[in-house]
Amino acid sequence: MVHVSMAVNGRAQSADVDPRTLLVQFLRENLRLTGTHVGCDTSQCGACVVHVDGRAIKSCTVLAASLEGAQVTTIEGLAQGGKLHPMQQAFQDNHGLQCGFCTPGMIMASIDLVNREGPNLDEATIRHGLEGNICRCTGYHNIVKAVAQGAREMAGAATPKAAE
Amino acid sequence: MSATGIGASVKRTEDIRFVTGKGHYVDDVNRPGQAYAYFLRSPHAHATIDKLDASAALKSPGVAAIFTGDDIAADKVGGLICGWMIHSTDGSPMKAGAHPVLAQGKVRYVGDHVAVVIADTLAQARDAAEKIEVHYGELPAVVDTAKAANPGEPQLHDVAPNNTIYNWRLGDKATTDAAFAAAAHVTKLDFINNRLIPNPMEPRAAVAEYDSGTDSLTLYTTSQNPHVTRLVLSAFIGLAPEHRLRVIAPDVGGGFGSKIFIYPEETVCLWAARKIDRPVKWTGERTEAFLCDAHGRDHVTHAELALDANGKITGLRARTIANLGAYMSTFSSSVPTYLYATLLSGQYDIPNIDCEVDAVYTNTAPVDAYRGAGRPEACFVVERLVEVAARETGRDPGEFRRINFITSFPHQTPVIMTYDAGNFAGALDKALALADYKGIAQRKAASAANGKLRGVGFSAYIEACGIAPSQAVGSLGAGVGLWESAEVRVNPVGTVEILTGTHSHGQGHETTFAQLVSSRLGIPMENVSVIHGDTDKVQFGMGTYGSRSGAVGMSALSKALDKIETKAKKVAGHVLEAAEGDIEFKDGKFTVKGTDKSIDFGSLALQAYIAHKFSGQELEPGLKEGAFWDPTNFTFPAGVHICELEVDPQTGVVTIDRWTAVDDFGKLINPMIVEGQVHGGIAQGVGQALLEGAHYDGDGQLLTASFMDYCMPRADDLPSYKVDTIETPCPSNPLGIKGCGEAGAIAAPPAVINAITDALGHEDVAMPATPQAVWRAAQKAVKRAAE
């Protein structure tokens, strides 16, 4: 067993876990934050994307034990005071999800894309930027629209960048 | 049309939990004291199990139990079944080899289920599994669909000589042969409909729990049809009587057909939960999904089209070998027969059709329905033949289709189906305009000036959906009826619960079904909840697949709403002291005709439940009605897709420049959701055409068993889509709905291949048309042009 500790969605969390425990397992099984999903075993699908210290990472590919003192944000930590993050709202507005399984990772990756590339994203930038997130349901057309809207709304939002 | 009524693009109710990470998928379910299951799978495609020694594994830390096929057999647990009987042309029934839930003596594909380890943690189960010693007697494997039935190939099942499951035929050989003999032109094509792996983003999972106090079992499972799962587990596998088996399919992360079937994993978990009296949880890894989820397609076809001198199609014939894999999965037999050959008329008035299908076993994963299920295979045959025939006879592909379109309805095809309503030429006209087809020559020239080859490809697809009329499918061999059920429970203060036997795993039923109720009862959508996926709550239903939930599921709901209205009017008559016949119901209010005496729906509901104003002996209190709807026909969504793309002859890379779709889905409940279904279907169809393909090597090893090797469509592989509709209401259900879930996957592949072959000067290219395949075809085209 190894001791892990980090802040998740603003709350200090720690536990003794099997050293092989991935961050996604720590979140889902120890913290019962089941919004982050496991969709593959080769770090391709992106369903597990969360933010660690302000950047998107695939939580299936990092050991919980390596995140001592990190600030982790999951999908559950985005909405503030009952109000959806603009990217979450944009996904609903544009029908950017169907089964919902890829959605948390897609939203977290999209927010990171905006953080890196700014609020005025063209179609090619969005499509390229979401290469690490696979969706089987939507055909991506509405996801692209959602991300473009979410990006503009994030820039226009009165509050600072989401949940970082 | 109101903001939330039928035809409104209402935002989805279910989205809130999905965008906030509060969905409730099977792997999110945890039961106190649960143990974790890990399956030991065969590394060989074909082998005997000569010895299995789990003694070391049993001593591994945390292990609760290890079970093998012998344990399953000792408990007389039944095997998995195929529920659709197909007969060969000689009258003999299909050769269904036994399909045990854990292998008994023999394994038949890589990934086949050998043993299950159940331990306190998943890591402990995995560690223990590595300590199980299995001695396999390796056997040669057969993986080639085209060769599996040849004499001398390795045999999978004793009951199926030459690995042949059935030889089946539909149509009229004699008249079709005559049409071909008299033809002015015959087009011939050979193709492979490439094997696909469905890969919904959520891997399959199961949590099983036994309650010894009531001797009852509960199964959480990633299923598209929990009642069917319960029926099979109970009546055919014998794990528990139905009334003591609860099956729950909560939020499910996509299915596309792969989650219809009953698999070994949930069956074993359910059986084991009672055996060890602890909840048992299994979550599939992606590699397991690749190896063991039912695959799709895998047809080898030779097809021919006969034309007269005027370009009218006089006959179509096809010979197909369909690979069903190592075992017959739940609906596998129906896919290359009644879901395939019956669509070989396409949108065309073809008087003579003959189709022969041989289904074979190979040492590969079982093959069953995958989005479109037989109809993409049929559409590919028809739309490639038609496109090539047009080119061979010097005709524009759009106009060649037009002169052959069916123009009067109902239209009886030679392959069982009677098309009820359609406007094929109307869809073609709309698609041509939307695609700016007139400008294609100019755009081709511009591309050529840039060193690129531009091509355009058509696909005029039609499908049989809204599965299905029970008597019809029964007569064709189905073991079950394919009606649907709905129940409307009005609560005392007027909120409404809808219980539907369909299941939503991405289709948005919680929104669309509520739209229908809101519109009919005149109550806000927030007052309606839609319940599905729990056999304890919902009466028997057949689930969701085959684009049936709107056409069949909403029709059942509509009938139940009719009954609610009838009952409510009776109550209103008593409350408003008028004759039942004088009561009108509009916009949520019951009114006595010609007066201002009225009562709103919510208040009426309360009256129904307090029963003060009428005799409970003459009129039952309460307001709750159910209906079962059995369709009278399949529905026939149809349309035209046009794909325009550029090929880079230096690299073989294909870039889709524009995608145009005009679809006839009859009445639309929520256009936004319909478009989403079309988008997703197109993506899967483009995936089949350009990117995806399951490959086994000669030893039966699956070479494409991860997302690194199997190319899933990603956002930058696909364009945006121009999607529009025309509407010819479906005459066979009260709402006029045809369904839309599969259309894109059916239409897209031939549109893409037709476009690439147009770009290359008609050199054929196989699916997936990878850059390597396209580059090779481009070189051949250049060579041929030079000759």
Average pLDDT over residues B384-396: 97
Q: How far apart are CA A30 and CA A28, in angstroms?
A: 6
Please, which pLDDT band fits residue A146 given cuts at 50, 70 and 90? Answer: very high
Q: How close, in Å, is residue B175 to chain A by CA atoms? A: 43
CB–CB contact A36 B21 (8 Å): yes
Residue pair B304/B381 in contact by the 8 Å Cβ criterion: no
pLDDT tens-place string over residues B236-248 = 999 999 999 999 9
Q: Look at residue A162 in the predicted model and tell me its pLDDT.
A: 45
| A88, closest residue in chain B (CA to CA) | B19
Closest residue in A to B21 (Cα–Cα)? A35
Q: What is A2-77's CATH topology?
A: Ubiquitin-like (UB roll) (3.10.20)
The answer to whether the CB of B164 falls within 8 A of the CB of B150 is: no
Which chain B residues are Cβ-neighbours of A45 within 8 angstroms?
Answer: 201, 286, 707
Average pLDDT of the segment spanning A45-72:
98
Give the gap in angstroms from C-alpha B675 to the nearest C-alpha of chain A: 9
pLDDT at res. B231: 96
Question: In whole angstroms, what is the distance from residue B569 CA to residue B576 CA?
Answer: 10
Q: How far is A68 from chain B (nearest CA, A)?
A: 23
The residue with tokens 């392959």 is B415
- Considering only the beta carbons, identify the residue of B683, B708, B720 that sits closest to A144: B720
Q: Which of A88, A127, A142 sits opposite B20 (nearest CB)?
A: A88
Say if the Cβ atoms of B17 and A100 lie within 8 Å. yes
pLDDT band at B727 (very low <50, low <70, confident <90, very high): very high
Phi, psi of B546 (to 5 degrees): 55, 30
pLDDT in tens, B694-716: 999 999 999 999 999 999 999 99
State the average pLDDT for chain B. 97
Query: Mean pLDDT throughout A78-90?
Result: 96
Other CB atoms closer than 10 Å to residue B612's CB: what's the count? 11
Instruction: Give the H/E segment covering residue B783.
Output: helix B771-786
Name which of B19, B199, B670 to mutate to probe chain A: the one with the most chain A Cβ atoms within 10 A of its Cβ.
B19
What's the pLDDT band for B1 if we cut at 50, 70, 90?
Answer: low
Confidence grade of residue B345 (pLDDT, cut at 50, 70, 90)? very high
What's the CA gap between B123 and A19, in Å, rounded? 11
For residue A95, list chain B residues with Cβ-Cβ distance below 8 A: 11-12, 672-673, 675-676
Q: In chain A, where does the domain assigned CATH 3.10.20.30 lie?
A: 2-77
Both tokens of residue A20?
A: 């092989």
Whether B454 contacts B645, CB under 8 Å: yes
Instruction: Report CB contact under 8 Å: A104, B21.
Output: yes
**Contact at CB, B203 and A88, closer than 8 angstroms:** no
Answer for the pair B213, B467: CB distance below 8 angstroms, yes or no: no
Is A101 close to B253, i.e. CB distance below 8 A? yes
Residue of A103, A127, A141 lying closest to B716 (CB–CB): A127
Chain A residue closest to B712 (CA)? Answer: A134
Distance from CA of B451 to the nearest CA of A (A): 22
Contacts of A91 in chain B (CB under 8 A): 15, 19
Q: Where are the domains of chain B?
A: 32-139+219-254+259-275, 299-468+633-786, 483-629
| pLDDT at residue B786 in the model | 79
* Residues from chain B contacting residue A139 (CB–CB below 8 Å): 676, 678-684, 713, 718, 721, 744
Q: For B321-332, what is the mean pLDDT? A: 98
Give exposure, B700-725, as e/b (b: 16+ Cβ within 10 Å).
Answer: bebebbbbeebbbbbbbbbbbbebbb
Which residues of chain A does B25 touch, with a Cβ-Cβ cutoff of 8 Å?
34, 37, 101
Q: Give pLDDT, residue B511.
A: 97
How many residues appear in chain B? 787
Contact B25/A143, CB-based, under 8 Å?
Answer: no
Q: What is the 3-state secondary structure (H, E, C) of B282-322?
A: EECCHHHHHHHCCEECCEEEEEEEEECCCCCEEEEEEEEEE
Percent of chain B at pLDDT exceeding 70: 100
Q: Do A100 and B199 touch (CB under 8 A)?
A: no
Q: Is there a common fold for B32-139+219-254+259-275 and B299-468+633-786?
A: no
Whether residue B265 has pLDDT greater than 90 = yes
Tokens for B415, please give them.
């392959």
CATH topology of domain B32-139+219-254+259-275: Aldehyde Oxidoreductase; domain 3 (3.90.1170)
| C-alpha span between B359 and B320 (Å, rounded) | 8
| Percent helix, strand and coil across chain B, each to the nearest 5 | 30, 25, 45
CB atoms within 10 A of CB B139: 18
Q: What is the pLDDT of residues B447-456, one digit of tens each?
A: 999 999 999 9
Q: With 50 as the cut, is the pLDDT of residue A158 above it?
A: no
Distance CA B777, CA B652 (A): 9
How large is the average pLDDT for residues B685-690? 98
Contact B201 A44 (CB under 8 A): no
- The partner residue sitting opposite B708, judged by closest CB among A34, A42, A127, is A42
Q: CATH 1.10.150.120 spans which residues of chain A?
A: 86-156
Instruction: Indicate the CATH number of B483-629 among 3.90.79.10, 3.40.50.720, 3.30.365.10, 3.10.580.20.
Output: 3.30.365.10
The pLDDT-based confidence of A164 (bands split at 50, 70, 90) is very low
Cβ–Cβ gap B23/A35 under 8 Å? yes
**pLDDT band at residue A160 under the 50/70/90 scheme:** low
> B-chain residues within 8 Å CB-CB of A32?
30
| pLDDT-above-70 percentage for chain A | 95
- In chain B, residues with a C-beta closer than 8 Å to the C-beta of A88 are 19-20
Distance (Å, whole) CA B113 – CA B106: 10
| Chain B residue with Cα closest to A50 | B21
How many angstroms away from the CA of B740 is the closest CA of chain A? 13
Q: Looking at the complex, report in whole angstroms how far the Cα of residue A136 sits from the nearest Cα belonging to chain B.
A: 6
- Residue found by looking up tokens 């226009």 in the block: A156
Spell out the residues 6+ positions from residue B370 whose beta carbon is closer than 8 angstroms to its own.
B196, B198, B256, B257, B258, B294, B295, B296, B297
Q: Is the confidence at residue B409, as pLDDT, over 90?
A: yes
**For residue B440, pLDDT beyond 50:** yes
Spatial distance between the Cα atoms of B611 and B608, rounded to a whole number of angstroms: 5
Within 10 angstroms of residue A9's Cβ, the number of other Cβ atoms is 18
Cross-chain Cβ contact B21/A126 below 8 Å: no
- CB–CB contact B20 A93 (8 Å): no
pLDDT at B782: 80
Mean pLDDT for B156-173 is 98
pLDDT band at A159 (very low <50, low <70, confident <90, very high): very low
CA distance, residue B435 to nearest chain A CA (Å): 18
Instruction: Give pTM, 2 decimals.
Output: 0.97
Q: Average pLDDT of B134-160?
A: 98
From B35, B391, B399, B412, select the one nearest B209 (Cα to Cα): B35
Residues of A in contact with B715 (CB under 8 A): 126-128, 130-131, 133, 135, 140, 143-144
Q: Which of A1, A141, A147 would you mutate first to test chain B, the one with the most B CBs within 10 A?
A: A141
Contact A79 B252 (CB under 8 A): no
| Chain A contact set for B17 (CB, 8 A) | 100
Pairing of strands B353-360, B313-323: parallel
Spatial contact of B318 and B355, defined as CB atoms under 8 Å apart: yes
Q: Is domain A86-156 given the CATH code 1.10.150.120 in the classification?
A: yes
Q: Indicate if the pLDDT at residue B339 is higher than 80.
A: yes
Which of A38, A76, A123 is the closest to B720 by Cβ? Answer: A123
What's the pLDDT band for B787 if we cut at 50, 70, 90?
confident
Residue B428 has a pLDDT of: 98
Under DSSP, the state recorded for B612 is -
In sequence order, the 6+-apart residues with CB closer than 8 A to the CB of B399 are none
What pLDDT score does B2 carry?
A: 73
Q: Which residues of A touch B718 (CB under 8 A)?
A: 127, 139-141
Residues in CB range of A99: below 8 A, 6 or more apart:
A136, A137, B200, B201, B202, B251, B252, B253, B254, B505, B506
Alpha helices in B484-624, H assignment, sequence order: 509-521, 555-575, 601-610
pLDDT tens track for A112-144: 999 999 999 999 999 999 999 999 999 999 999
Domain B299-468+633-786 has CATH 3.30.365.10: yes
Q: Which whole-number Å values give the CA distances from B179 to B172, B176, B433, in the listed order?
A: 11, 5, 35
Alpha carbons B365 and B197: distance in angstroms, whole number: 10
Distance to chain B for A150, nearest Cα, Å: 13
Q: What is the pLDDT of residue B3?
A: 83
- Ramachandran region of residue B189, left (φ > 0), alpha (ψ -120 to 50) or beta? beta
Which of A28, A123, A134 is facing B201, going by the closest CB pair?
Answer: A134
Span B604-624, pLDDT tens digits: 999 999 999 999 999 999 999
CA distance A140 to chain B (A): 6
For tokens 């509060």, the residue is: B22
- Give B421 to chain A, closest Cα distance, Å: 29
Pairs of residues, one from chain A and one from chain B, whose beta carbons lie less than 8 Å apart: 186
What tens digit of pLDDT does each residue of B25-76 get?
A: 999 999 999 999 999 999 999 999 999 999 999 999 999 999 999 999 999 9
Residue B430: predicted pLDDT: 98
SS3 letters across B62-124: CEEEEEEHHHHHHCCCCCCCCCECCECCCCCECCCCCCCCCCCCEECCCCCEEEEEEECCHHH
Cβ contact, residue pair A103, B19, below 8 Å: yes
**A26 φ/ψ angles, rounded to the nearest 5 degrees:** -60, -45
- The average pLDDT across B720-743 equals 96
